[in-house]
Structure 1
Amino acid sequence: MKINQFAQITVPQETMVHELLAIKFIDANFFKRPLQDNLIHFFNQVFPDCYTATTKKAACANLLATSVFTVTDLLDQAKPFNNQIFYNIALQLLGFHPKTDFKLNSPLEFMRQTKLAFNEPAVFDNQALLKNSYLLLTTHTRFGVTFLDDLANRGYFKDFQSKENPHPLTFNGKMQPVFDPNQVVKEVVYVESSLDTDQDGHRDLLETTIFRPRETNQGLKMPVLYTANPYYKGMNDVTDYLHSVDQEISPKTPSNTDYAAINYSEPTTQLPEEMPVNSESQTAERYGDEPSFYSLNDYFLPRGFVNVYAGGIGTRGSDGIRTCGSPAETESTIAIIQWLHGDRKAFTNRTDGIVIKAWWCNGNVAMTGKSYLGTLATAAATTGVAGLKTVISEAAISSWYDYYRDNGLVVAPIDCQGEDADVLAELCFSRQMDAGDYTQVKTIFQQNLAALAKDQDRVTGNYNHFWDERNYRRNLSNVKADMVMVHGLNDWNVKPRNVEKLWAGLRGQNISRKLFLHQGKHIYMNNMPSIDFTDMMNLWLSYELYGVVNHAKEILPNVTIQDNLTPETWTPQHDWSRIDQKLTLYHLTTKDLTTTKPTSAASLSFKDDGLEQFKQTNGDEHQWQQQLLTADGPYQNNRICLKTAPFKQTQIIDGKPTVTLQAAVDQPTGLLSVMLVDYGVAKRLTEVPTVLERSGYKLGYNWKSDDLVEFTTQAQTTPFKLITKGHINLQNRQQPFKNEEVIPNEFYTVHFELQPTRFHLAAGHQLGLVVYATDMGMTLRSPKKANYILDLNASQLEIPFRK
């Protein structure tokens, strides 16, 4: 096991003393007492779930100090105490076991291997105990939390909060769980937006659910973690709305369209009058009975961060309609922030005009969330809205074209064939769950759905006015909030291009930005014990929202990447996917990929006729991909597969591989798809995290929990692994908005980027380039058969190897 801690701050002894006193771990007489007395006090403190001297003594008897003596023996007999004994005990307190995990005669050796921090004092005295205690409290257990968090989860802070003078508490630069999450105020308000998307002549009201510690009722102001979640109030069955993908790619009329012709500009609209204010109240009228859903938010609630959730326009309890990523959804998202910051009205109910302020909020807001939730957080940041201090977006879309399209092709997210913007709007339009409400808005929503279906243009797959409207990267110059971006390198739902282009686009902005790249698919990463991600976010949010001087911007790495070869390994980098990265050029021959330029003309051909075979095997997209990449599989005539020689030493691909292909097809339409593959028999990381312990990740005292998960090594070897892929329509050889003719059997050159990646190639493995046409899991699946020829001399692959 390896535990990578990036948020463990080194502080001077003066700060240690101050903070240990603040959390009541030591008292003012610490340096006046003998070491033996302080050791007894230490062991009283580390068992907050034991309420009597008898039960504490029994707990100490379960800890071995040496191979012969328990802690109880040492304390009862006043035996000598040294650093080795301290860390023998500390490792057991952290959840590790003598013999099975570490040896009692060499605990520090295990700590080095596990990457746990420790001290090595020359003499073990009160000063050594103080420093060791502080460091231990900030060190992670095997269960993904600091030891102080572990103590808190067992009740250490349960009687800490003063009823007369409630206040937040920091330790090692991070907020501590001193507020009872089971005593929070749960309430609902209705924020008035500057929208009328359902065209009923009234501004859309947005139902907003608030979970705030009860201490806010005593005047304590707190910051907010706000999650805009279109799924929060439920989802509709969209089976009947999915588009057929078993159809031909449409021929396009050649055009000279330039970007100016499709550039989106915000239209001017006339808004209804604001709701009249009749009175003001500090008390909400509705209980917030919806559950929370994100363990990161749950973790921060007892630490003094109010949790706020809103579904937005078109969701159950709110007005308006869903528009899938449009500026109206962005406006709906930031309306909540504006209310929290004091710049917009909210009401206690939908009709009486009773205004209510966020009087308990200090005006500082962070947005959190994954996928659509992180997408709306990103969208909000691009408005520069006041009050939004930072965003933690995970697996977020930065341009909806990059979610549903690719280089002039309709390209679905993985496992979502047939979905599109209109389908997602229907999925999230939870207003229709309330039959009475739905009758008022059904007609306008169906009209909007028809407009979405038309404007998204599944016929051509081109980038157009509709997609430009939904491209948040156009507005990156407005971003003022510091940005934390998290993405899976194996996420084929929201593909990595979304985060890479966002990361690159923010390089010139005067903000702080951090990036985390993990080995997962479309997942959260806060419950992995190999990295202190939650601590890092605690450090970050304590600085951003509470103003704690903890140097979070300097301490946290710019880029933190999980390695794909070695489990539990996280590498800090200054940057990722730099444009000045040197490229290694590979040429294509009939047999392999080589860095030597070929001297003779050569070509290879493949067919695009696998749809019938695909349907005969139950249409399993994942099975199809496995068989496509297998040397003797049923689709071997449907692709070209070329490999490098085995690498003599490991290599790291960092950034965007690019391909140049010169190809001809015997049809008036065509597409090219490319996969980059790691070929080599090996036990690789699991595709999804292994559950180490159900509900093993504790979020607070008598509070919620999450599964403790980690990417582990697979039990069986596999012959290959997909690194990245990309697609292009041969009719969009220059731009996704410009059409060009395809004449059958004429050769055309295309140059395009594959999805960005960071991949560690093992020595002895080969890099494989797989060229094919129809991607059964993503592209349209044409029943028409086609034949392709690839001119190898005019084709090449460029790889950004990290030096």
Structure 2
Amino acid sequence: AMKKKTGRRIRVLAYVTVCLTVLSGCSGISSGKVIEQAASVMSSGVTNEEEKKPVFKDGMAQPILRYTDLRDADYSNEGSDILRFCVYVETDHDTDSDGKADLVEALVQVPRAAAEGGFRAATIYDPTPYGAGTVDEYEDKSSELMNPVPFDYKKLYEPGEKRTPKGSMTTLEAAEEADPESWNYEVPYSGNIGYSYAKLYDYYLVRGFAVVEAGGIGTYGSEGFELCGMDLERDAHKCVVEWLAGDRVAYTDPYNDIEIEAEWSNGNVAMTGCSYGGTLPFEVATTGVKGLKTIIPIAGIASWYDYTNSQGAPLYLSASYADMLASFNSGAAFIDDDWTVVNDDYASFLWQVSRDQDDSNGDYAPVWAERDYSLDSSKINCSALIVHGLNDFNVTTKQSDLMARSFLRAGQNFKLVFHQNGHSFLDGIVVNGELWQEIMNKWLSHYLYDVENGIENMPTVSVQSNVDGSFRTYDTWADFEYESFEYDTEVNPDDVSHIDTTAIASNYMNYEGSTDDLGRELIRDNYYLSMPDSTKATYVFELPDNYTIYGVPEVHLKMSTRNAGGDGMVVSAMLMDTIDEETEFKAYMTKGRLWDRVPVKTTYVTETGGGLPDTRIKEYVKSNTTAKLITYGHTDLANYGGGYDGKDYTKHEEEMHAGEYYDYTIFLQPTSYTFEPGHKAVLVITGWDPYRAFLDEDYAAGTVTDSVDSAYTYSFNIDNSSFELKFPVQKGNADQ
């Protein structure tokens, strides 16, 4: 056998499974002309049966290989155009203290022709930790799996003893020896199949790209500890890139010290993935590692602080998060095959991380600074094609903004693509007249195979319109101008708006799961407008017809509170689109908290090539609504005076005074949105948000009823003479 899978079982809170789960929906907007062009390009592969090597037409790699399915029950590398096998890349550190440098398991899929020396293949590398197999989730007993003993993080950085190769094996020999159970294994408890993302890149595989998937240190099949966001996790994936570039050793299995080189590789690597898989490419890019030519992060994280917190405010009941996500992916930390016995050191690590994050309570602290990769862009030397959904309420658009700003500071080429879906991939959507797979094809062909196709000159920003689904393009990002408008004083005539959070929990309890007169479930977007007046302040703006915002909206205001000694007192700002709160209109809507997506429909099916199933071209479908949440932001009353960067929100040492007004700016999520004629912009300011900044323990425990309110209460005042909503607009006009 190539390996024996071992690990331990750690359960994690239920929301972890949705907070960073990669969702594989794909959809798009297309026209008849585009569809005809797509069908022509997708099926125009050129195959040379005698000598298979990459073929490029119209700037894109064409199908050259016959696809074989690695999931087939009788799969074998024999006779397959594509060879599959696992390798174990040696890292520099010994995080699990077993005396040896940790090994990272990676599944390699490579064209046979490259392994036989016909050409050198470029590599697409997906580093998603979930792919190796996640541990079972839990709701009740997480603390029992932690070891309440202080843990010194320095211990993780101890160098591990490097192995001495006892022999070597070629790719062809490794493929001949490969056992499909190395990737088609069953994950303990969940029963899921191993390497769950192995088929995501088949389109590129048959076109002559190699595809590599690895979960990283601490995941099932690898060694070490899963560290969620620490630089050691990042560096383990950097090691895989180094192996592909010829600068690091890997072995055929964890036991026999038989070295294997990537002699088939041309040394050029692209990292890509969605969610956690879109996070690690950016992290690795900040190292400047040789061989990483480009990244395509989809809904990825640049700063774990800004994922879990917002401007000093924690966004969950517990301020700790990295410990739970780490344990969710920690298959390597079990010391028995049944995933029941925990490694004591790892349990201590989880406890320490949990304690450090809880102590921060939303403030920027060292435990978050070491997970903030937006701080240093000086080593970035690759390009980036950054993708994000404007309706993603899991990983917010600020993360892609932070990535783009990092590449801008580094002077490296980057592109931003914003679409109308939620937390999802983009396959099947048509962007600026081209299928997304074809844009990626051109991007990868250019940066990995040096094909001169002009893709590097595509517009800096492409944004899908909320009005008609077409894409608008812009030449600049983070270069916004701001405009302000007077709000309707008939709606809010008071000099001071008073907000009390007492009724938020009971109101949400009655709202959640309720239906309208037609029996339709009430959704998030309507919730904010329906809140009791005592829990919110409302500001209504009449805007010019077809007014488009583009960038980061800012809410400037002065606030005071009588709860001056408190912490974690969330202030939420929601920018809405409505006509009159009763008239329906159509909008791109997601109906879940963190994981839902916009509905889609298939408009056309076209040939993919290489013997793969046909490709579905899709459209996003609008839904009827009386309100649309455009963007939002949160801050903490205890953290006044901060800016856009997370590092501005370290704990205030100055004492706040009850009743005294302080200056705040609430930065909403970056967006682009057009207000159609007859529509209004409505800003709702309230306390904690049950859909995002969910902090009420009484509500979570089920003790809130119609007659019993929550004990989690605070109040604050807004000086309306200081209030200003600054709408971002692009300089000049967008290219249509």
TM-score of the alignment, normalized to the shorter chain, above 0.5: yes
Counterpart residue number, 1:643: 540
Counterpart residue number, 1:176: 62
Amino acid at match of 1:793: S
Counterpart residue number, 1:377: 281
Distance 1:404 1:698 in 2: 42
Distance 1:746 1:360 in 2: 67
8 Å CA contact 2:334–2:342 kept in 1: the answer is no
Distance 1:241 1:559 in 2: 45
The structure 1 residue matched to 2:472, chosen from 552, 571, 591, is: 571
After the TM superposition, which residues 20-419 of structure 1 pair with which residues of structure 2 at under 5 Å, given as runs? 114=31, 116=33, 140-141=35-36, 145-150=38-43, 152=45, 157=46, 160-163=47-50, 165-182=51-68, 183=80, 184-219=82-117, 220-240=119-139, 269-282=157-170, 283-284=173-174, 285-287=177-179, 288-289=183-184, 290=194, 293=197, 297-412=201-316
Distance 1:374 1:654 in 2: 24
Give the count of matched residue pairs: 622
* Residue 712 (structure 2) pairs with residue 784 (structure 1): yes
Question: Cα gap change, 1:341/1:686 in structure 2, threshold over 3 Å: closer, same or farther?
Answer: same
Task: Describe the SS at the equivalent of 1:240.
Answer: coil
Distance 1:317 1:590 in 2: 62
Counterpart residue number, 2:622: 713
The structure 2 residue matched to 1:765, chosen from 654, 679, 682, is: 679
Amino acid at match of 2:107: T
8 Å CA contact 1:577–1:654 kept in 2: the answer is no
Distance 1:471 1:543 in 2: 30
Structure 1 unaligned runs (5+)?
1-112, 117-138, 245-264, 594-599
Question: Cα gap change, 1:693/1:349 in structure 2, threshold over 3 Å: closer, same or farther?
Answer: same
Distance 1:666 1:614 in 2: 24
Counterpart residue number, 2:383: 482
Question: Cα gap change, 1:325/1:695 in structure 2, threshold over 3 Å: closer, same or farther?
Answer: farther
Question: Cα gap change, 1:743/1:624 in structure 2, threshold over 3 Å: closer, same or farther?
Answer: farther
1:577: how far off?
3.4
Distance 1:480 1:583 in 2: 32
1:483: how far off?
0.8
Distance 1:626 1:744 in 2: 33
Counterpart residue number, 2:190: none
8 Å CA contact 1:243–1:419 kept in 2: the answer is no
Distance 1:551 1:204 in 2: 41
Distance 2:655 2:689 in 1: 22
Larger Rg: 1 or 2? 1
Task: Describe the SS at the equivalent of 2:160.
Answer: coil
Amino acid at match of 1:781: D
1:796: how far off?
1.4
The structure 1 residue matched to 2:499, chosen from 594, 600, 606, is: 606
Distance 2:101 2:291 in 1: 23
The structure 1 residue matched to 2:651, chosen from 738, 747, 765, is: 738
Distance 1:235 1:619 in 2: 30
How does the TM-score come out when normalised to structure 1? Answer: 0.73
Task: Describe the SS at the equivalent of 2:123.
Answer: strand
Counterpart residue number, 1:797: 725
The structure 1 residue matched to 2:454, chosen from 531, 534, 551, is: 551
8 Å CA contact 1:608–1:773 kept in 2: the answer is yes
1:692: how far off?
2.6
1:624: how far off?
7.2
1:707: how far off?
5.2
Task: Describe the SS at the equivalent of 1:185.
Answer: strand
Counterpart residue number, 1:495: 396
8 Å CA contact 1:410–1:458 kept in 2: the answer is no
Task: Describe the SS at the equivalent of 1:577.
Answer: coil
8 Å CA contact 1:543–1:549 kept in 2: the answer is yes
The structure 2 residue matched to 1:469, chosen from 361, 366, 370, is: 370
1:686: how far off?
4.5
1:403: how far off?
0.3
Distance 1:360 1:328 in 2: 28
Distance 1:146 1:534 in 2: 12
8 Å CA contact 1:368–1:391 kept in 2: the answer is yes
8 Å CA contact 1:198–1:441 kept in 2: the answer is no
8 Å CA contact 1:229–1:309 kept in 2: the answer is yes
Distance 2:157 2:715 in 1: 51
Amino acid at match of 2:137: V
1:636: how far off?
3.6
Distance 1:706 1:452 in 2: 44
Counterpart residue number, 1:673: 572
8 Å CA contact 1:192–1:346 kept in 2: the answer is yes
Task: Describe the SS at the equivalent of 1:505.
Answer: helix
Question: Cα gap change, 1:241/1:660 in structure 2, threshold over 3 Å: closer, same or farther?
Answer: farther
Q: Deviations over 1:84-117 (max 9, x none)?
A: xxxxxxxxxxxxxxxxxxxxxxxxxxxxx9483x
Task: Describe the SS at the equivalent of 2:217.
Answer: coil
Task: Describe the SS at the equivalent of 2:242.
Answer: helix
Task: Describe the SS at the equivalent of 2:206.
Answer: helix
* Residue 689 (structure 2) pairs with residue 775 (structure 1): yes
Distance 2:578 2:600 in 1: 28
Distance 2:307 2:534 in 1: 29
Q: Deviations over 1:394-419 (max 9, x none)?
A: 0010000010001111114xxx9887
Q: Deviations over 1:301-348 (max 9, x none)?
A: 000000100010111110011111100111111110001111000011
1:451: how far off?
1.2
Higher RCO structure, 1 or 2 (CA under 8 Å, sep 6+): 2
1:292: how far off?
5.5
Task: Describe the SS at the equivalent of 1:277.
Answer: coil
How does the TM-score come out when normalised to structure 2? Answer: 0.79
Amino acid at match of 1:472: Y
Give RMSD over aligned pairs. 2.9
Bigger fraction of residues in helix: 1
Q: Deviations over 1:411-450 (max 9, x none)?
A: 14xxx98871111011111225772496886112101110
Amino acid at match of 2:490: K
Distance 1:479 1:620 in 2: 49
The structure 2 residue matched to 1:659, chosen from 555, 572, 578, is: 555
8 Å CA contact 1:684–1:713 kept in 2: the answer is yes
Task: Describe the SS at the equivalent of 1:508.
Answer: helix
Task: Describe the SS at the equivalent of 2:443.
Answer: helix
1:697: how far off?
6.3
Distance 1:266 1:652 in 2: 50
The structure 1 residue matched to 2:661, chosen from 736, 742, 747, is: 747
Counterpart residue number, 1:596: none
* Residue 463 (structure 2) pairs with residue 561 (structure 1): yes
Counterpart residue number, 1:133: none
Amino acid at match of 1:286: A
8 Å CA contact 1:627–1:634 kept in 2: the answer is no
8 Å CA contact 2:558–2:723 kept in 1: the answer is yes
Distance 1:330 1:591 in 2: 54
1:711: how far off?
1.0
8 Å CA contact 1:346–1:355 kept in 2: the answer is yes
Amino acid at match of 1:738: K
8 Å CA contact 1:207–1:318 kept in 2: the answer is yes
